[in-house]
């Protein structure tokens, strides 16, 4: 069944490529000698093929559906500067890793990133920004697969783990069969049964240029988890107590600790995983606990999106902070900010309606 789908997909691409060549020939014979010299058939043909895909509503593995590397990196960098706060290590490491991977098509392996931190620190948000920067369709792209452990891998039973592995293999073959520059994101790795990700090993690094007739080395795999979050907080807090600037923290301050924690942590998707054992994770990226100033920045950005006039400090102060004495870090990061901004905006605009509903509810209770 899978081979049939891939075959049909390739046949459609072949037909579109023929269409591209026909347009190229027509342009050559209709141009002047000078124009012929300047004409780049490959670029023109690719553009025509992309236009043909758009015309028939089919997502092709080329521009405009794949954002060119330089444009993708520039867009991501701009977005990170404007909308991603308090995570200098994550921003810098991801940008450099993507830039290197996208510009070297003959990489010896797929790019593997592991995001670590508490909820609300920006792990899922950064993964979504990467999707939007690489693909025109963003998270809706056929070349993107997103997995949530509590939904996709809920059962730790050994027989189910084998089933999950088989599903992963099929998904990866199918997705990379559509486009070698595919993206796979695994959320809740800390809730994933052990050994599930062992199925990824041959796709992340394989001998030769192709495996099962496909080049998986252009793909990207991202793991999201709270594994090692306590260590991240401890290192960050100690740095603060020592009077050091947060920006002085370096990637190397966390890498060894996160790798050990991921491999030795009990009953997670990376526990004693071959992905770690075979040194296939390129970067263990820490997401630091969010300080009040970062929550205020998140709030300002969200207020600008909603186009409302709210007090960002008031909203930030409505969240809980810890440790109890210093109240340094937000307990939920920026996770609640979007809904809080929308709530206070609605309350400001429709306050009377809310009071009316509350009055009705109280009257109903009294009855």
The predicted pLDDT at position 279 comes to: 96
User: What average pLDDT does the structure give for the chain?
Assistant: 85
The predicted pLDDT at position 208 comes to: 83
Q: How far, in Å, CA of 27 to CA of 358, rounded?
A: 69
Contact 227, 190 (CB under 8 A): yes
C-alpha of 263 from chain center: 22
The predicted pLDDT at position 55 comes to: 63
Q: What is the DSSP string of 82-127?
A: HH--S-HHHHHHHHHHHHHHHH-TT-SS-EEEEEE--TTSSHHHHH
**pLDDT surpasses 50 at 229:** yes
**pLDDT surpasses 80 at 211:** yes
Domain spans in the chain, listed from the N-terminal domain onward: 2-55, 69-286, 292-366
The predicted pLDDT at position 367 comes to: 29
288-302 pLDDT tens trace: 999 999 999 999 999
**pLDDT surpasses 90 at 353:** no
Q: 31 falls in which pLDDT band (50, 70, 90)?
A: very low
For the ranges 17-26, 109-118, 327-336, the lowest mean pLDDT is seen at: 17-26
The predicted pLDDT at position 52 comes to: 62
Q: What is the CATH number of domain 69-286?
A: 3.40.50.300
The predicted pLDDT at position 50 comes to: 53
The predicted pLDDT at position 237 comes to: 97
Mean pLDDT of 212-229: 96
- Give burial (CB, 10 Å; 0-12/13-18/19+) of 82: exposed
Give the predicted TM-score (pTM) of the model: 0.82
Mean pLDDT of 188-207: 95
243-299 pLDDT tens trace: 999 999 999 999 999 999 999 999 999 999 999 999 999 999 999 999 999 999 999
Q: Computed over its alpha carbons, how large is the radius of gyration of the chain?
A: 24
Q: Taking Cα atoms as reference points, which of 274, 271, 251 lies closest to residue 261?
A: 271
218: phi then psi, degrees, rounded to nearest 5: -90, -5
The predicted pLDDT at position 51 comes to: 59
Q: 9 falls in which pLDDT band (50, 70, 90)?
A: low
56-107 pLDDT tens trace: 668 999 999 999 999 999 999 999 999 999 999 999 999 999 999 999 878 8
Q: How far, in Å, CA of 276 to CA of 197, rounded?
A: 10
120-158 pLDDT tens trace: 999 999 999 999 999 999 999 999 999 999 999 999 999
Taking the CA of residue 298 as centre, how many other CA atoms within 13 Å lie in the half-sphere pointing to its CB? 29
What's the angle, vertex CA 22, arms to CA 16 and CA 27, rounded to 5? 130
């Amino acid at each position: 069944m899978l081979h049939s789908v891939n075959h049909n997909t390739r046949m459609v691409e072949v037909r579109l490529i023929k269409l591209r060549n026909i347009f190229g020939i027509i342009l050559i014979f209709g141009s002047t000698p000078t124009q012929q010299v300047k004409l780049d058939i490959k670029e023109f043909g690719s553009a025509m093929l992309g236009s043909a895909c758009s015309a028939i509503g089919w997502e092709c593995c080329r521009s405009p559906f794949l954002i060119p590397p330089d444009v993708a990196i520039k867009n991501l960098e701009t977005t990170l500067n404007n909308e991603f706060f308090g995570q200098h290590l994550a921003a810098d490491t991801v940008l450099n890793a993507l830039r290197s991977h996208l510009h070297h098509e003959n990489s010896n392996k797929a790019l593997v990133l592991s995001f670590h931190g508490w909820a609300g620190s920006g792990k899922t948000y950064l993964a979504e920004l990467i999707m939007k920067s690489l693909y025109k369709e963003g998270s809706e792209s056929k070349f993107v697969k997103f997995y949530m452990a509590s939904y996709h891998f809920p059962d730790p039973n050994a027989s189910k783990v084998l089933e999950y592995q088989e599903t992963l293999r099929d998904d990866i073959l199918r997705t990379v069969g559509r486009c070698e520059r595919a993206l796979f994101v695994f959320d809740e790795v800390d809730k994933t049964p052990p050994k599930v990700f062992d199925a990824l090993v041959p796709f992340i690094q394989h001998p030769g240029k192709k495996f099962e007739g496909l080049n998986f080395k252009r793909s990207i795999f991202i793991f999201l988890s709270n594994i090692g979050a306590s260590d991240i907080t401890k290192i960050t807090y100690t740095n603060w107590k020592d009077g050091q600037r947060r920006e002085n923290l370096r990637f190397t301050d966390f890498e060894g600790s996160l790798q050990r924690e991921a491999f030795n942590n009990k009953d997670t998707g990376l526990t004693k995983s071959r992905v770690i054992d075979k040194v296939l994770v390129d970067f263990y990226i820490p997401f630091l606990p969010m300080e009040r100033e970062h929550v205020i920045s998140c709030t300002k950005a969200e207020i600008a999106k909603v186009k409302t006039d709210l007090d960002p400090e008031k909203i930030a102060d409505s969240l809980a902070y810890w440790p109890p004495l210093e109240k340094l870090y937000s307990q939920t990061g920026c996770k609640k900010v979007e809904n809080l901004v929308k709530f206070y905006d609605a309350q400001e605009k429709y306050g009377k309606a809310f009071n009316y509903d509350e009055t009705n509810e109280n009257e109903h209770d009294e009855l």
